[in-house]
Structure 1
Amino acid sequence: MSQNHYHVLGVSMTASAHEIKVAYKRLAVQYHPDKHGGNTRYEELFKAVAAAYHILGDPGRRAQYDYQLQAAARRAEAQLRQQQFRQQSQHVYGVPMPPPAPLRTRPPAGSRERHYRTIPRQRPKFTRRDLRFILLLIGGIILFVVAVRVTMYHVTAVSNYERGLEAYRRHQWSAAHSFFSEALHFKPDYTNALRRRAEIEQLAYQNPKAAVVDYRAALRHTTDARAQAGLLTRLGQSFRALHQSDSARAVLRQAVHLDSTQARAWLLLGEGQLFKQLRYAQANASFTAGLRHTRGAPTAVAARLLLYRGLARYKLGDLRAARADYWQALILAPHSGQTYFLLGRVAQKEGDTTEACEFFRRAVLMGYQYAAEQRRQTCP
C-alpha cells in the first residue's frame, strides 16, 4: 500500500496542527542528510517529510488533500464491490473469478429438518385486559346509540311542539292537540306540551278529567314556583268543573301559597268561599288579595274580582262598599248586565225603587234575563 503524507509524518488524519509540526521537526532532524554523510536514502526520506509538511502544515492545502484521500477511498471501495459481484464467467486480467464462498448463517440442516412439519396451533389466551377492552368498547357503543336516540327524540319533540304552538295560536285545536301528543310521545316529560294540551282539553274540548291528568304530569316536572302556581290554578279550575270542591280548594290554596300574585287563583278561591261555603268575610279577603295583583292579569279577571267582592260586601251588609265595587267593575266591563242587576239589588235594598228599576231595565237591555223577572216583581 502506498503511503500518504500522514503515514510519512507518522500521525493520524485527526492530528492537530501542533502535533503535525512536532512530528515534522523530529523527522527532519532524524533524516537530515548531513547527519548521514550524504546518504541518498535519507535524502529521499527528508524530501518526503518536507513535502508532507508542506501540504499538511497549511490548513487550506490539508483540507483539499483530505478531500482527495476520501474520494480515492470511495473509488477503491466501488471497485472492490464490482469485483465481489462479478459473474463467474467474467475474467479479470484473463483469469477466471473464483466461486463465491457460501453464506453460512447457521449449521446445515439435519435429516429431520429436511421435510415440512405442521406447526401446532396455539390456543389464543383471553386475558383480563382483553375483557376490559371489550366491555369498554361495548359500553361506548351503547352510550353512543343512546345519545343519538335521545338527541333525535328531543329534536323531534321540539319540532312537533313548535308546530302545535302555531296551530294553538290559530285556534286550530285538533291539529294542536295532535302535535302536542306527538311531542309527548317522544318526550313524555315535556312540560310545555303537557300544559298546552291540558289547556285544550279544559277550555276547548271541555274535558276536565283529561286536563287534570296532564296538569298533574306537568307539575311533576316543574320546579319553578311561579310556573307551579299557574299550573295549580288551572288544576283548581278543572277540579271545580268536576265538582270536586275540596280538591279545588286545596290546590288553589297551594297556588297562592307558592305565588301570592296569582290573581286568578285568588278569584277562584274566593268564588268557592262565596258560593259554596257561604263564608263572605273570607271571600271578601280573597278578592281583596287578588285585586292587589291585577296589574298583569286580564281585564276580565279584575272585573270579576270587583264584581264578586261587591257581592260579598253586599252579603256582609256593607251596601256602600258594594256599590263602589260594582261601579268600578262597570268601568272595566261596561256591557255587563249582571253588574247592573246587582246595582239594582243594592238600590232595592236601600229602598230606592226608581233607581232599582232603572238598573234592572239596563240589565235586561244588556241581555241579563234574571233581571227581567225581578223587574216585573219590583217595578210598576
Structure 2
Amino acid sequence: MRAMNTLGFDAAPEDTRVVVAMSGGVDSSVTAALLKDQGYDVVGITLQLYDHGAAVQRKGACCAGQDIHDARRVAEAIGIPHYVLDYESRFKDSVMEEFADSYLRGETPVPCVRCNQTVKFRDLLETAEDLGAVALATGHYIRREGGLDNARLYRGKNSIKDQSYFLFATTQEQANYLRFPLGGLSKDETRALADKYNLAVAAKPESQDICFVPNGNYASVIERIRPGAGVEGDIVDLHGTVLGRHSGIINYTIGQRRGLGIATGSPLYVVRLDPERNRVVVGPAEALLVSRVSLREMNWIGDEPLGMDGTEVMVKVRSTQEPMKATVFGAADNWAEVHLDEPEAGVSPGQACVMYDGDRLLGGGWIAGTEAPITL
C-alpha cells in the first residue's frame, strides 16, 4: 500500500521532492526531519544572508555562521542533501537597505516581512523550482488548507506562536506552492519532535526577531548603511513650538514616551516624525489615536476581489495585538484604505496592517499614512 502523501500531491512521498528552508533553528530543522521521516525526497537549503563571519559567535543570530553550521549538522544527521546559497547581496539590497531608508522616511519597518516577501518567498522559491521540487516547506507557524491551486492560509493553531502577520504579503501563487508542516503545533510539541529525532538543535534558544541588528541597536545599523543618518533636529509640540532637540529621527518611534529629554507638566509621546523638516512631533496620549489607515502594496488573497465598496474584516496593525474590527476599501495601483471601528493608538507608517476573516489570512498592506478621528 502506497504511503499517504500528506502534502496533497498525487504521488508517493518518495517521488515528491520538497525543498526545506533550513535556518539552523529548531523549527526548520524539525520541518526537514518530519518530512524526511514521512518518506519525502527532501533537499535542505540554507541562505547566507549577511556577514556570517562576524556573526558566528553572536547568540540569537539567524542565517549566519553558527546557524549555517547547525543546519548542515541536522541535514547530515537525517540524511538529506544540503546546500548553502550566498544571498548576501540580495538580502542587503531587498531588506537591509530598505530597512534603513524606511527609518529615514520616518517609518518603523518590519524587515522580517520584507525578507519573506523577497528573498525567501520569491528568490528561494524560484531556486526550489529549479531543483525540481514541487513544494517549498518552512518552519513558520501558519496553517495551509486547500488544494494545489486554491490554497488558503490560516493563523497558526497556537496563538502564541502564530506567524501569519509576517506572511501577509504571500501571494496566491506562492501559497499554492508553500507548505507549513508545523502550523498545527505548539512550540513545546515542536521541541518534543526535535528530541524524538535526536536533533542537535533540540534545546537551541529562539533567534532574535531582526537577525542583522545586534543588541537591538537599530540606529547603529542604519548609520552603517546610510552614514550621516543621525542628524540632530528639533522636538516640537503639535503647534510647532520647539521643546527640545533630538539626536536624529531614526532614534524615535511613534508612541515613544521615554528618552525624549524634555520636561513638561504632563506626559508627552512621539505622535509623528517629520523627515522633511527633520522634526520629532510630540503630544498627549489622545493625539496617538487614529481611525483611518492608508495602505500601499496591498496584497489580497480573499476569495472575492477587493472592491471599492468596502469589505468587513478583522485587522492587526501590530504583530502582538489581537485582531480588531475594520472595513477595508480597495483603491487603484494596489492601494487601500482601512476604517477602524474603534480608534487605535500608536499606529506607525512602515508597519503592516494585516487582515483576517476569523482565523483566515486575507492579506494586508504597508501603512503609508494615518488619519486622526478628531482634530487636535
Q: Which has the higher contact order (CA 8 A, sep 6+)?
A: 2
Q: Which has the larger radius of gyration?
A: 1
Which one has the bigger strand percentage? 2
TM-score by length of 2: 0.18
Structure in which a larger fraction of residues adopt helix: 1
